[in-house]
Amino acid sequence: MPAAFVLGTRPEIIKLYPVIAQYLSRALPFRIIHTNQHYSPELDRVFFEQLKLPSPDINLGAGSGSQGEQLGRMLPALEQALRQVNPSVVYVQGDTNSVLAGALMASRAGLPVAHVEAGLRSYDLRMPEEYNRILADRLSTMLFAPTEGAKRILLDEGYDPATVHVTGNTVVDTLTALAAGGDQAGWPGERWGVERESYFLVTLHRPENVDDPVVLERILGAIDEAAARATIKNLLPLHPRTRSRMDSFSIVPGPNTLLVEPVDYFSFVALQKNARLVITDSGGVQEESCVLGTPCVTVRESTERPETVEVGANVVTGTGYDQILAGVQRMSGAPGGWRNPFGDGRAGERIVKIVLETLAG
C-alpha cells in the first residue's frame, strides 16, 4: 500500500520535499494528491520541476475562492482520491485548507494521518491558519513537531507523548539540499537592476493584511518610507491575492517599491539570502530567513514561529506605521550569527523512520 501526500501550496511542496525524497531514495511506493490550492505556474509547477519531484498523480482542481468554497471542492474530491489510492498513511504539512481537508478526509476514512510541522500556535484566531493547524493536529495520529517548543505546546494541550516526535523543520533539509547543489539560480536581481544587499525583500499575502485597504495601504506606505530612509529599494514579488487586492482597491505603492512577478524557488532563496532585510507576513519566509542568516521583520500581530524571535533573527511589529519603521531600523542593525533553531537538516529522514516503525508495530 502506498503512502499518500496531500498538498496544495508552495510551502507544502517545499516542506514535504525531504519526506518524499526519502520515499524516492528507499524505492517506497507513494502517490501525490494535489488539491491545486495554488495553481499559477510560479507558485506551483515550477517547484516540482526545480526540486525534481514527480508530477502529482491526482489533481483535484480546487483553485481559488473563500475557505468554504475551497473546502467544499476539496472534501468530496479527496474522499474519492483516497478511496482510489487506498494508502497506508496520509501525510499533510502545515496549516492550509489543503492540510485541513486532507487530515479530515483521511481520519474519516480510518487512515493514519502524519502531520508534518505540528504544534505551531500563534494564538491569533483572526488567522484561518490557526484553526487549520489546531484541527489538523486533533485529527492526526502522528505529530511531527519541528522544535521542542512545539512539542511542549502539544503536551500542554493533552496529546499523548507517544504520538509527538521532535524532528526538526524540513525546511532546513530543503535549504541544505539547495546549498549542496550550488548557485542554481544565478543572480535573479539582474532582471530588476538590484545588487546584492541593496534591497529589502518584501512578501505580503495574509488576508488580515491585504484584504483590508486601510491596513494594506498603511503597510505599503511604511515599507516605502523605510526603504527611502535606507536609500535602497523594496523588491516585492506579488502574490496573486495581493495583486488582486491592490488592483481592486486602486492602491499604488510608493516610488521606492518595485512590484515584480512571483519568482521560482531557487531565485527566491537567492533573493532572501542576499537581501539586507526581509519584511514579510509569511510563516515559512520567517523560517527560511532565519536559517539563511537574513534579518526579518514580521508585519503581523503574532507569530507561530517564536523561535525566530528568541534567537534574534526576527521581530514582530504589528501593522502600525511607526512600529514597522522601528522594526526595520532595529533589524537593519542586527548583528547576525544567531543559532539556527530548526534542526540539522535530517527531519525528513527522521519522519519516515518513525512512520515506518509505527505502521510496522
Residue 26 identity: R
Instruction: Calculate the CA 278 to chain-centre distance.
Output: 15
pLDDT tens digit string along 307-351? Answer: 999 999 999 999 999 999 999 999 998 888 999 999 999 999 999
User: What is d(CA 199, CA 208) in angstroms, rounded to the nearest whole number?
Assistant: 25
User: What is d(CA 17, CA 188) in angstroms, rounded to the nearest whole number?
Assistant: 23
Q: What is the pLDDT of residue 183?
A: 61
- Residue 79: closest CA among 4, 19, 171: 4
The burial class, CB within 10 Å (0-12 / 13-18 / 19+), for 141 is: middle
Q: With the CA atoms of 279, 178, 46 and 7 taken in that order, what torsion angle do they form, in degrees rounded to the nearest 10?
A: -80
DSSP state of 312: T
Domains detected in the chain:
3-169+343-360 (3.40.50.2000), 188-332 (3.40.50.2000)
The burial class, CB within 10 Å (0-12 / 13-18 / 19+), for 305 is: buried
User: What is d(CA 299, CA 318) in angstroms, rounded to the nearest whole number?
Assistant: 5
Q: Is 205 an annotated catalytic residue?
A: yes
Locate all alpha helices (DSSP H) within the chain, ordered by sequence: 10-25, 45-50, 67-85, 97-108, 128-139, 148-156, 170-180, 207-210, 213-230, 240-249, 265-274, 283-292, 306-310, 321-332, 347-360
User: What is d(CA 143, CA 38) in angstroms, rounded to the nearest whole number?
Assistant: 25
Find the catalytic residue in 34, 115, 165, 205: 205
DSSP state of 64: S
Which residue numbers in the chain have pLDDT < 70? 39-43, 181-185
Three cell numbers written together for 258: 518595485
Q: What is the pLDDT of residue 43?
A: 59
Q: What is the pLDDT of residue 53?
A: 93
Neighbours of 347 (CB within 10 A): 26
Q: What is the pLDDT of residue 50?
A: 86
